[in-house]
């Protein structure tokens, strides 16, 4: 299939591809963008202490405490917060809004595409142009799109759109979903709209997964006007999220957690700059810059062969041709520790050198 159409069965399968499929035990994992291999000790202790409360149903007080913590963190009202089973649940709920025409800004995380297509929502894929550095072009979004979804920073391009540019996509009668799953990995969160209470139809989705190494818990939240959140949550079951999720959300909004996330974001930015420079020095490797997220989008010559070669050398990277708009040479790599990053650079150098001499 040609990259970017994703209409046939093969294309649908590719849209469902995620980085966890590209890695395996024993490989150094550059495929999954989770910051650490397990949650920090203080968070595990909090969750362990909450285990004793699993004997009761999660009550309104638990829910309110979590929403109040999020509200305080983002300068919102608790009624503007909906705790979710991960950002992914926010996408799964979008069909509840009964959109007539969705516009998805690509290349980007593909779950919204999968969910809306499966729900039979007519959709337009708006492909941003690498020659324009994937800049947002509001005029490419169909006028009648009543649902627009984008990621910021964007997976897999690592592009951070300025907040003002994102807001230009909003209009009355349209829901604008901004997936900020990686926003807390950007120092100072300069482009986050989490605290924006004025842009019409804005729905921000946040995740605890990446920074706090909680993919197995499923924790995140949505921020929007209360009426919009009520519509979104209309079909949810009673007790929609568990006690441990509520506890994690509370804990990760506390000042010490925010300070830790900020320190980690700054450290990642330094490691990313070093990794980008080392990768860009390899023959034929293009690194998309500037990068804002804890991963880099590369183009490597003979991508499928090189990825297979890296795997044979014990390194897992993420194929990126499953994202609409990208091709088989596109490859995404997480930013890891300097020691691990050096392993990636050395292995990639070896693979590329083999290719040149072949
Ligand atoms: C860009 C992006 N948004 C959202 C998600 C979903 O996050 P969560 O684990 O909170 O459901 C992911 C997970 O891979 C992601 O990469």
Cα 290 from Cα 34, distance rounded (Å): 21
Centre of ligand 1 from the C-alpha of residue 33, in Å? 9
* Minimum-distance ligand 1 atom for the alpha carbon of 155: 1
Q: Express each pLDDT in 22-78 by its tens digit.
A: 888 889 999 999 999 999 999 999 999 999 999 999 999 999 999 999 999 999 999
User: What distance in Å separates the CA atoms of residue 101 and residue 15, rounded to the nearest whole number?
Assistant: 19
Which of 39, 104, 206, 210 to mutate for ligand 1's pocket (most ligand atoms within 8 Å of CB)? 210
- Model confidence at 19, pLDDT cuts 50, 70, 90, reads confident
> Which residue has 């550059």 as its token pair?
30
For the residues 192-200, what does the mean pLDDT come to?
A: 98
pLDDT score at 358: 45
What backbone phi and psi angles, to 5 degrees, belong to 308?
-65, -40
CA 92 to centroid of ligand 1, rounded, Å: 12
User: Measuring CA to CA, which residue among 192, 141, 194, 196 is closest to residue 169?
Assistant: 141
Output the residue whose Cα is nearest ligand 1's atom 3: 181
Q: Is 87 in the pocket of ligand 1 (CB under 6 A)?
A: yes
For 255-303, what is each residue's pLDDT tens digit? Answer: 999 999 999 999 999 999 999 999 999 999 999 999 999 999 999 999 9
pLDDT reading at 154 higher than 80: yes
Looking only at the bridges linking them, the beta strands covering 147-151 and 102-106 are: parallel
- Ligand 1 centroid vs 350 CA: distance in angstroms? 32
Domains 8-38+258-352 and 41-254 share a fold: no
What 8-state DSSP symbol labels residue 140? G
Domain 41-254 has CATH 3.40.640.10: yes
Q: To the nearest whole number, what is the mean pLDDT of the chain?
A: 95
- CB of 325 closer than 6 A to ligand 1? no
User: How many A from CA of 183 to the centre of ligand 1?
Assistant: 11
Give me the pLDDT at residue 1, please: 30
Mutate to test the pocket of ligand 1, among 180, 184, 207, 332 (most ligand atoms within 8 A of CB): 207
**Which DSSP string corresponds to 186-252?**
STT-TT--TT--SSTTEEEEEESHHHHT-TTT--EEEE--HHHHHHHTTTPPSS-S-HHHHHHHHHH
Q: Give the domain ranges of the chain.
A: 8-38+258-352, 41-254
357 token code pair: 């001499």
CA dihedral 188, 189, 190, 196 (to 10 degrees): -130
Q: For position 355, what pLDDT does the model report?
A: 46
Give pLDDT, residue 357: 47
Residue 192 — very low, low, confident or very high, per pLDDT cuts 50/70/90? very high
Q: What is the mean pLDDT of residues 115-134?
A: 97
Mean pLDDT of the 241-254 span: 98
Q: Is 155 in the pocket of ligand 1 (CB under 6 A)?
A: yes
**Closest Cα partner for 18 from 124, 83, 113, 160?**
113
Q: How far is the CA of 326 from the centre of ligand 1 (A)?
A: 19
The pLDDT value recorded for residue 5 is 58
CB 348 within 8 A of CB 282: yes
Tell me the Cα Rg of the chain: 20
Nearest C-alpha neighbor of 161 from the set 146, 180, 174, 143: 180
The ligand 1 atom nearest the CA atom of 108: 1
Q: Which strands form 81-84's sheet, in the order they lie side by side? A: 81-84, 220-223, 202-207, 175-179, 147-151, 102-106, 123-127
* 70 Cα to the center of ligand 1, angstroms: 18
CA distance linking residue 313 with residue 69, whole number of Å: 45
The per-residue pLDDT for 2 is 32
Distance 334 CA to ligand 1 centre (A): 14
Strand extents, DSSP E, the chain? 28-29, 81-84, 102-106, 123-127, 147-151, 175-179, 202-207, 220-223, 286-287, 295-299, 315-316, 318-319, 330-334
> What is the whole-number distance in angstroms between the Cα of residue 216 and the centre of ligand 1?
12
- Burial (CB count within 10 angstroms: exposed 0-12, middle 13-18, buried 19+), residue 205: buried
What is the fold of 8-38+258-352? Answer: 3.90.1150
CB-ligand 1 contact for 32 (6 Å cutoff): no
DSSP 242-256: -HHHHHHHHHHTSHH
Give the model's pLDDT for residue 354: 79
Of 22, 83, 85, 86, the one to substitute when testing ligand 1's pocket (max ligand atoms within 8 A of C-beta) is 86
């Amino acid at each position: 299939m040609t990259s970017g159409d994703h209409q046939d069965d093969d294309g649908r399968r590719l849209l469902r591809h995620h980085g966890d499929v590209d890695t395996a035990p024993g490989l150094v994992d550059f495929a999954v963008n989770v910051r650490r291999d397990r949650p920090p000790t203080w968070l595990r202790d909090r969750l362990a202490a909450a285990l004793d409360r699993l004997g009761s149903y999660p009550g309104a007080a638990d829910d309110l405490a979590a929403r109040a913590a999020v509200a305080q963190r983002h300068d919102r009202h608790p009624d503007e917060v909906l705790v979710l089973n991960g950002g992914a649940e926010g996408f799964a709920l979008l069909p509840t809004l009964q959109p007539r025409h969705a516009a998805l800004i690509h290349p980007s995380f593909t779950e919204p595409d999968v969910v809306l297509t499966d729900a039979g929502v007519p959709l337009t894929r708006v492909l941003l142009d690498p020659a324009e550095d994937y800049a947002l072009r509001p005029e490419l979004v169909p006028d009648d799109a009543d649902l627009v979804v984008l990621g910021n920073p964007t997976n897999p391009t690592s592009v951070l759109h300025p907040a003002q540019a994102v807001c230009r996509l909003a209009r009355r009668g349209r829901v604008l979903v901004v997936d900020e799953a990686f926003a807390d990995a950007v120092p100072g969160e300069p482009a986050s709209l989490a605290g924006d209470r004025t842009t019409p139809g804005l729905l921000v989705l946040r995740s605890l997964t990446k920074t706090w190494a909680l993919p197995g818990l499923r924790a995140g939240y949505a921020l929007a006007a209360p009426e919009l959140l009520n519509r979104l949550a209309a079909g949810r079951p009673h007790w929609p999220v568990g006690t441990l999720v509520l506890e994690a959300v509370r804990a990760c909004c506390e000042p010490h957690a925010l300070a830790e996330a900020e320190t980690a974001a700054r450290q990642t930015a330094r490691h990313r700059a070093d990794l980008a420079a080392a990768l860009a020095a390899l023959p034929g490797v293009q690194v998309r810059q500037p990068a804002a997220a804890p991963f880099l989008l590369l183009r490597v010559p003979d991508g499928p062969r090189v990825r297979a070669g890296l795997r044979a050398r014990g390194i897992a990277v993420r194929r990126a041709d499953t994202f609409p708009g990208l091709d088989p040479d596109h490859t995404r790599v997480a930013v890891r520790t300097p020691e691990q990053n050096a392993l990636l650079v050395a292995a990639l150098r070896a693979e590329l050198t083999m290719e040149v001499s072949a």
